[in-house]
Structure formats: C-alpha cells, structure tokens
Structure 1
Amino acid sequence: MPLRRPLKSLIKLRYRGTQLAVFVVLTYALAWSSWFSISTPFVQKGGIYFRILGSWHGIPGPDLFVLLGNLSPGIAALITITLASGKTGLADLWRRSTAAHASFAPYAIACLLPIAYSYFSLVILHILGTQAAHLDSPFRHFIDLALTLPFAPLFEEIGWRGYLLPKLEKTTGDFRSSVLVGLIWGPWHAPLLLMAPHPGMALLDVLIVFCILTIGLSILFTWTFNWSRGLLLPVILLHGFHNAATSYFLSSTISAGGWMPLLILTVIVWLAATAVLIIGRMYKNGREEWRVAGP
C-alpha cells in the first residue's frame, strides 16, 4: 500500500512559472478585494480607533482598506515563498534583504533621486505656464514618510523587488525583467486610480500613462536594487521618498494642470531611466555578485 504524501508536499509549488502565477494572482486578489470594498457601507462606517488621553485616534475604514491592499505584494510573496521553499526560502529572503553589503551611494540616490525628478517636473510645469503649486510645509510629508515606510513601501518592495524581480532575472535580462515588473506593478494600481481625481483625462488614458511611468520607475528601482546587490532597504527608501516627493511637489498641480503633471513626471522619469541605461552603470553589481534564492 503506497504511503500517503504529506499535505505540505502536495501543495508545494515546484515550478517557477507556477510560483510567479500564484504570486501575481494573490497580489491582485488581495489588493483589489480590499480596494473595491472601500465604497461599501461597512468600510465607510468602520475603522480602528483608540481612546488616548480622552481623545479618539485611529484609522478610518477607507484608509485602513487602502493600507491592507498596499500590503498585498509582501503578503503574497511570503505565502508563495513558504509554499515553494518553506523556512529555507524565508530565511534566504531575510538574509538577502538585511545583509549590510551596500555602500552609502544607493541610499543617497534613493533619497535624492525622487526629490530631483519631482522638483524638475514642477519646474517644467511652471515654464509651460501651469498654475503655480501651493507647497505646504515639507515637515508633514516627512512625517507621512516615516509613518508609512514600514507599511506600503516595505511590503510592496518585499513583493516587487524582494521576490518578483530576482525570479525574473534568473531567466530574463535585467531590462526585460524591469519592464515585466512594471507591467504587473502598474495595472495593480487600477482601483486606486479609479478613485483618484484626474481632471481632464479619461481613466484609460490615466492608466496607460501611469503604466508607462511605472515601467520607467521599475528601471530605476532595478538599478538601485542590483547596485546594492539585492538589498531591499535602498528600494524601500526610494519607494517612500517617491511617494513623499511627488505628493509634496505635484499633488497641488493636478487640479490646475489636468493630465500635464502626470505626463511631465513620466517624461522626466524616463529621461532618468534612459540615462541609467546609456551610461552603462546599470546593474554593475548585478546578479552574478549575489545569490538569488529559490528553485
């Protein structure tokens, strides 16, 4: 009588294509189910609140479900790694993500590059005659950066660069891997784009331009990730500073500029990505110098 195979071995994901498919499906399912729930009465009236020193503080239901959706790439990556490699895969991800083998340069680039391309986008908008931006104190944006860094940037990068990118780089060139990550990363935001105001621009046009922007960003993120030899912290910082810098410099221009701020930002980001490709320093410390985990 044949021995029964353990349940764990039955559900173990043995093939890379299956692993990638499971990761993508889980990422989209977890995020989109959270984000499309935001308009429901349960979420609109809900939230998590605590009474502190006589006052109520907390997270409203819609903000909470946006946050839950942002966590989906990391959660999906951890589930997929567990099914494919178990504790060994999780330990390897932790080792690659936390080993202190990067120079100071990737950290500096991660902090300064988003400020640079966001600021230059604002300058171009001003030259083109778009209504001047109303810049508030940057302090609030840095507070938001500090508060959100352990959540959306961290969990997104565990999925996009910690798991998906190294898997693709095993069989695909670095540039193609960047494009593929961007093509998955961009449409993933579709429900959030549906809820965000974009005056003078159809949703489909917004999604197309946003995906082009995301592919350009993916090239910059891949360059930073491989430059640091697979360390996640630089790309987590890059992600957080991108969110903070674009919010600070460009959010107030959306109502006045319509589609123009997004388009200008996309052009500037692609100029930076093209410069990275042409200069030839992209992936100088690439895959050959650090081991990628997983089968």
Structure 2
Amino acid sequence: MPKRAIPLFLAMTFLITWGVVGFYVLAPELASSWFGPISGLHPLFFLATWAPAIAAIVLVLSYADGAGLRRFLSRLLLWRAPSGWVVFVLIGLPLVFMAGSLVKNGPVLAPLPPDGAGPMVAVMFMMLFLGPIEELGWRGVLQPLLQRHMAPIWAGALIGAIWGFWHLPAFYLAGTVFGGWNFLPFFIGNVVLAVLVTPILNRTGGSLLWPMLFHWQLINPFWPDAQPWDTWILAVVALVAIWWKRETMFTREGAVTQVIPSLPQAAPQVAR
C-alpha cells in the first residue's frame, strides 16, 4: 500500500464521520425527521464510528483485492503477546479506572442499572463491535504507513491527535456520551492512549486483536467514570512505557510497517 493511501484514508474517515455527525449538529431537526433522533444505538452512530474501518477495508480492497483483505484481517488472529502487556490490558487498565474514580471519591465499579447486571453485560459485548472496530483503520492501516516515515512514538502521537480531532463534532451532539464531556482532557487522553498502544502493536508483530481489546477496556461499562484522573494516570503509565521501550519507540527499527502481511515464501525447488 503506497504512501498516498494516507490522505485517502483520512479523507474517507473524516468525510463519513463528520458528514453524519455534522448533519445532526447543523440541522438537528431535519436529520431527526429523516433518520430519527441520534443516540449511541442509532445505525448512523455505528456508521460514523466505523468510518476508520470502512476506509481501511476500501483501501485494502482497492490495492490488494479479496485475498489481500483476508491477509489483512488475519492480523486479528495474532494473539501472542508479552505477558506484561497482557496483564496491563486485562487487569491494569481496569485498575486505572478504579483508582481514578477513588481519587474523586467515586465508586470502584460503575453502578448497576435497576435491572441488574444483565443489561450491562449486553452493553459490554455490544461495545466490542463499536469503538474497537476503529482499530482496523487507526492501527491497521494508518500506523504502519506512518511508521515507514517516522519513529513509533511520533506516529502514535500524530494518530492520537488525529483520533482526538476526529471526535470533535460529537462533542456538539446531544444524545451521546460525548455531549457531557470536556474536549481538552479527552484530546490529551487520545494522544496518551495512542502512544501507549504503540508498543503493544509493534511488540505483537502488528496484531489487531490486542489494540482492539485495549480499546474495548476503555469503553467497558463496568469501569467507573474516572475523568480526568484516568487520563493523568495513563499519562504517567505512558511516560514509563516510553522510557522502558525507548530503544524501539524512538527508532523505526523493528516497527510494524506492513498493512497487509506478506505471503509466506515458498521453499526453493532443487533442480534434479
């Protein structure tokens, strides 16, 4: 996939998301009359959220057809990861939210709805097919392309800034969770998270599974609201990770640069 795929990816991603959300922001009554009120469960909200993945799939198909798409999606099956990162994603991230909530005198876990844990479990699994799907674009296409030209830390920080800016229209959208948040801590948090997930992507050889699980933990409804303390705690964790992985974060050596994994090389035929 050539370098010119970067502006194409960004153009498609922003056009879809900002087009959908912008319609509801600029013409809310007209949009609601045509498509119904927007919410986190609305099909157009899913479309806006999936824009990076849609752009990624379109680009992969345009450059490498169906076989290339299968190889691209095979990165979802790269499950091997260092035990330290596994513990961080599965246990460390929840602890960050719990600690941040406790700092602001909040609960250890998010309060259960009147119907009990059942609806929360349903939302938790639904979230697996919402935000994490974005990673097909951000970490699947954009990061490998950027890491061909810059060190991973700068690629991660740039994606974080783009990722945060991409969310901006949602902060003006009533009926979604973003409507009650402050944009600046969220933007900083996106940069922090994108830098933090970078060594996970590279250490796992370009796995999409682990960035998706990382993203899933960020929106798990069981974890309490810890803003803005979760951002500051994760910023400290990111600084530690940058120092710990400084030999690979500031050099392109060993960075994942392939969007579509290469076919295995066939064994050479021996002439008889």
| 2:258 corresponds to 1:279 | no
Question: Going by fraction, where is helix more abundant, 1 or 2?
Answer: 1
Letter in 2 for 1:293: V
Conserved in 1, the CA contact under 8 Å of 2:147 and 2:257?
no
User: Secondary structure of 2:104's partner?
Assistant: helix
Could you say if the C-alpha distance between residues 290 and 218 of structure 1 is closer, same or farther in structure 2, counting changes exceeding 3 Å? closer
With 207-216 and 232-241 compared, the bigger mean Cα shift is at 207-216
Pair 86,275 (structure 1): closer, same or farther in 2 beyond 3 Å? same
Equivalence for 2:270: none
Instruction: Report the TM-score, using the length of structure 2 for normalisation.
Output: 0.77
> What is the TM-score with the length of structure 1 in the denominator?
0.72
User: 1:124: how far off?
Assistant: 1.7
Q: Which residue of 2 aligns with 1:52?
A: none
Aligned 1:131-210 pairs, distance under 5 A: 135-137=110-112, 139=117, 140-153=119-132, 155-195=133-173, 196-198=178-180, 206-210=182-186
Q: 1:94 maps to what in 2?
A: 73
Task: Establish whether residue 33 from structure 1 lines up as the match of residue 8 from structure 2.
Answer: no
Root-mean-square deviation over aligned CA pairs: 3.2
- Which residue in 2 is equivalent to 1:215? 191
Structure 1 Cα separation of the partners of residues 184 and 75 of structure 2: 33
Unaligned 5+ runs, structure 1: 1-13, 48-58, 200-205, 251-260
Q: Summarize deviations over 1:148-171 as a string: whole Å, max 9, x none.
A: 212331x20000111111111112
Please give the residue correspondences for 1:8-157 in structure 2 after superposition, counting only pairs within 5 Å. 15-16=2-3, 18-38=4-24, 39-43=28-32, 46=35, 63-87=42-66, 89-102=68-81, 105-126=84-105, 135-137=110-112, 139=117, 140-153=119-132, 155-157=133-135
- 1:154-196 per-position Cα deviation (integer Å, ceiling 9, x unaligned): x200001111111111121010011011011001111112223
1:293 and 2:259 correspond: yes
Deviation at 1:72, TM superposition (A): 0.4
Contact 2:100 2:230 in 1 (8 A): yes
- Render the CA deviation track for 1:34-70: whole Å, top value 9, x for unaligned: 22234344546746xxxxxxxxxxx979722211100
Residue in 1 aligned with 2:229? 264
Q: Matched residues, percent identical?
A: 20
**1:287, distance to aligned residue in structure 2 (A):** 6.3
Q: What do the CA deviations read for 1:68-118 (whole angstroms, capped 9, x no partner)? A: 100100001111222233345423312333244435554442222321211
> CA contact under 8 A between 1:223 and 1:282: conserved in structure 2?
no
User: Greater share of strand residues, 1 or 2?
Assistant: 1
Structure 1 residues 221-242: Cα deviation after superposition (integer angstroms, max 9, x where no partner): 1122222221111111111111
Hey, what's the Cα distance between the residues in 2 that align with 1:224 and 1:23? Answer: 22
CA gap of 1:107–1:125, structure 2 versus 1, over 3 A, is same
CA 1:95–1:281 in 2, change beyond 3 Å: closer, same or farther? Answer: farther
| Cα distance, 1:292–1:132 mapped onto 2, change above 3 Å | closer
